[in-house]
């Protein structure tokens, strides 16, 4: 199983980082988790185009995690030779988001179907709204959902992906909670959004400081990984974003975790293999 950090940025625009998105791949399955800014460009950069996606999975419905879902839907549609379903999984409210997205694209869909004789159908987006504890299959990957604490954003979900003898948890945003502890227990890898509280508090603006209420600090993510016996902690969706490649201070704040800590720019890849 491979993890690809296709977007490690935050809602603040950054020319070097796409919005939040992560790809989980196995030999036969490719799952996109969240669809932040520039996601299709980042997918292309790692050799993946939307028709190759087995599914899209959403952790929650904050704009920075879904703002380029429309690009995924449109590109999947126009690049697929035959009508093909795009399965989108997410928390309650996902169907409303997709309905609105398709309404926004209605003119574009009409133009393209009028112009291209081989486009006989509008995009086929199949939405699956999930609750914590549900389990489903995408190709050869078993996916388990778990509640996360990103309040007042509710509901929000983390996902545990299991295949090929390993498991990876992608938790999205949120602070530590017992449900997250349960989801990550015994996982081989754990991907977590992180903030630097020390740096955030240097900005004298309450709207920015408020993000500390519902995002894990690096230390909190490290403690969650340590409690769960995780082998590899992958940090992403950095707030504020570090300079490219400069992560020593971020990793130093994960000292409570005695496993491997991965920090990465966009397109960083992590291979998750079974223990020998």
pLDDT tens-digit series, residues 48-99: 999 999 999 999 999 999 999 999 999 999 999 899 999 999 999 999 999 9
| 146-170 mean pLDDT | 96
Write down the pLDDT at residue 71: 98
- Three-state DSSP state, 135: strand
- What's the distance, CA 111 to chain centroid? 31
- How are strands ordered across the β-sheet holding 141-147? 135-138, 141-147, 157-163, 166-170, 189-195, 232-239, 260-263
Q: What is the share, in percent, of the chain residues with pLDDT greater than 90?
A: 85
Rounded Cα distance, 207 and 135, in Å: 36
Instruction: List, edge to edge, every strand of the sheet that includes 21-25.
Output: 124-130, 85-91, 55-57, 30-33, 21-25, 2-7, 268-271
Pick the CATH number of 2-271 from 2.130.10.10, 3.60.15.10, 3.40.50.300, 3.40.50.720: 3.60.15.10
**Cα 56 from chain centroid?**
9
Residues in the chain, total: 276
Which residues, 6+ apart, have CB-to-CB distance to 237 below 8 Å? Answer: 7, 8, 9, 10, 20, 173, 193, 194
Q: Is 104 buried (19+), middle (13-18) or exposed (0-12) by CB count in 10 A?
A: exposed
Q: Which of 66-70, 115-119, 225-229 has the lowest mean pLDDT?
A: 115-119
Residues forming the active site: 64
Indicate the domain borders of the chain: 2-271
Q: What is the mean pLDDT of residues 162-170?
A: 97
180 pLDDT above the threshold of 90: yes
User: What local confidence, expressed as pLDDT, does residue 199 receive?
Assistant: 86
275/4 Cα distance (integer angstroms): 20
């Amino acid at each position: 199983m491979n993890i690809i950090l296709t977007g490690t940025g935050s809602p603040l625009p950054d020319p070097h980082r796409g919005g939040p998105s992560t790809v989980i791949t196995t030999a036969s399955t490719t799952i996109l988790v969240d669809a932040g800014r520039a996601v299709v460009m980042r997918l292309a950069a790692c050799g993946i185009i939307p028709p190759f996606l087995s599914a899209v999975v959403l952790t929650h419905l904050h704009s920075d995690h879904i703002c380029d879902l429309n690009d995924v839907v449109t590109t999947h549609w126009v690049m697929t030779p035959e009508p093909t379903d795009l399965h989108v999984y997410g928390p309650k409210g996902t169907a409303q988001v997709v309905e609105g997205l398709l309404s926004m694209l209605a003119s574009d869909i009409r133009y393209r179907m009028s112009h291209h004789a081989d486009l006989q159908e509008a995009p086929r987006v199949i939405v699956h709204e999930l609750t914590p504890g549900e389990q489903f299959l995408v190709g050869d990957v078993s996916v388990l959902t778990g509640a996360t604490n990103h309040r007042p954003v509710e509901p929000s979900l983390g996902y545990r992906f299991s295949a090929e003898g390993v498991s990876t948890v992608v938790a999205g945003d949120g602070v530590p909670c017992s449900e997250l502890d349960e989801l990550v227990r015994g996982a081989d890898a754990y991907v977590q959004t992180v903030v630097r509280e020390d740096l955030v508090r240097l900005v004298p603006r309450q709207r920015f400081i408020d993000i500390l209420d519902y995002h894990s600090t690096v230390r909190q993510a490290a403690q969650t990984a340590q409690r769960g016996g995780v082998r590899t902690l992958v940090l992403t969706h950095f707030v504020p974003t570090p300079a490219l490649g400069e992560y020593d201070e971020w990793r130093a704040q994960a000292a409570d975790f005695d496993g491997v800590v991965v920090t990465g720019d966009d397109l960083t890849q992590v291979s998750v293999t079974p223990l020998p």
